Amino acid sequence: MFTGSVPPEARLVIQELLAGRKGDLYVACSGNYTIDRIGAAMGFNVHSNDVALYSKLIADVLLGTETDLEVLDKDLLQVFSDWSPSRYKNLIQVMFAVRVAGFAACKNDYQKMFYGAYVEGATSYYERTMAKFEKDQSLEFKIKSFYYGDFVDFLKMGQENGICLAFPPTYKGGYEKLYSYIESSFDYERAKYEMYDPKTNDDMLLSFLQNGEHILYLDRSPEQLEEFCKAKIRLDGDRKVIYIYSSVKKSPVDYYLEKRKPDYAPVHKLLSYDHVFSKKDLIEISPCSTKEANHWKAFFMSAKVNYTEGGDICLVFLCNKRAFGFAVFKDMTGGLEYSFLHSDFVINMREARVSKLLILLLKASEVRSALSRFYKVYYTGIFTSVYTDKPISMKYRGAFDLMRREKGKLMYKADFAGQKVKEIYNNWFHKHANKG
């Protein structure tokens, strides 16, 4: 059972593989529904699957169903008796049980101390978690169905009806070992499934990819699947390398081999794919390491131009402290009045005009101030080059002025607008934003 979070790099590759497609998406081993939510935001009819009680209870919230759940553990029963009824109660009960699982045995003073502290704050935890679900609407996306059972059977059902995406268990008996406390603390109808052993099922995975358009997410690289490998992502620290295999037909780009450098991990988290911009959003621009921009460029910028290195200063564009774009500048003028925009890009989002937002924000007073502090030059504006054979760039049109055309390249410039980030964002929001 895959239990970790799907890292942002893997999400990006999966989004790119699914881009432009519609219809039914079957997500096996849904876990915490990271990919299910992305699929729903992209317009798919999402069919989810898992054998975990936690995932089943999330499905209850999404589909308006209810699982008969009896609390067997006497301590937990006492804790939950103080909780008011809500559509999230069963789910948060299991979340709380997972939280205390490592301390519930109370074998020593350390475990007793933490277990007691968690129990003492249980009602507060319930109210905070319930308020969070209601505020961030993280459980408000739609799925079409949920299959509570063996993921292999689930894939067979969906294989001829749409695109299937699977996160097979990473090791035999993983779910059983991880959730043993849950199994003993609650009585409910268990899912029926065969014990899956990753070491003996590579031929089955190969057949899966060969028959239809499907995606696999693994933490190992079976030799049989090599021809279907689309991404190799090396995570920071001692975590395993992630491999993404796909038989989904893509054109013209059909390869996404990227590595996260072991000595560098991004500082900023990315804004979610399905974020809907609002008047209340806090938009900020802040300097960051060029390493961070270089880390993300290969996921969001065209492979036709090598932008992976270079740049003196990077600015990250933030919405509620999460990154949605980056801009890298380089001294190409020797201190003249326009600063050179080496590269800029935004992340993949459902909001179609987020790129226009970044282009407009590049003219903000805060950008001018950041560049002036770094270069010791009070610039009039910025200029950039666009590598294209087309007569204009739709990306910069209307925000930047075309300076000149060269063979295979356009030169654009823009003066700073004398406006703050907040004012530019408000104008963009009223004119361009998708209001949901």
Residues with Cβ within 8 Å of residue 10, at least 6 apart in sequence: 217, 231, 233, 242, 244
Domains present along the chain, CATH in parentheses: 8-246 (3.40.50), 283-431 (3.40.630.30)
Closest CA to 230 of 192, 211, 256: 256
Residue 301 CB coordination number (10 Å):
17
pLDDT band at 7 (very low <50, low <70, confident <90, very high): confident
> Sign of the CA dihedral 365, 367, 371, 377?
negative
Q: Report the chain's mean pLDDT, rounded to a whole number.
A: 86
List 407's β-bridge partners, or say none: none
d(CA 343, CA 359) in angstroms, rounded, equals 11
The pLDDT of 200-220, averaged and rounded, is 89
Residues with Cβ within 8 Å of residue 102, at least 6 apart in sequence: 111
**Given this model, what pLDDT does residue 436 score?**
56
DSSP 196: P
Residue 57 CB coordination number (10 Å):
23
> Sign of the CA dihedral 390, 409, 299, 318?
negative
> Do 337 and 417 contact (CB within 8 A), yes or no?
no
**Given this model, what pLDDT does residue 214 score?**
93
pLDDT one-digit tens code per residue, 102-111 = 999 999 999 9
> Do 337 and 293 contact (CB within 8 A), yes or no?
no
pLDDT one-digit tens code per residue, 251-272 = 444 455 554 444 566 789 899 8
pLDDT band at 391 (very low <50, low <70, confident <90, very high): confident
pLDDT higher for 365 or 138? Answer: 365
pLDDT band at 306 (very low <50, low <70, confident <90, very high): very low
Residue 241 confidence (pLDDT) above 70: yes
pLDDT one-digit tens code per residue, 145-171 = 999 999 999 998 888 889 999 988 776
pLDDT one-digit tens code per residue, 176-197 = 566 788 989 999 999 988 877 7
**Given this model, what pLDDT does residue 57 score?**
96
% of the chain surpassing 90 pLDDT:
52
Paired sense of beta strands 45-50 and 24-28, if any: parallel
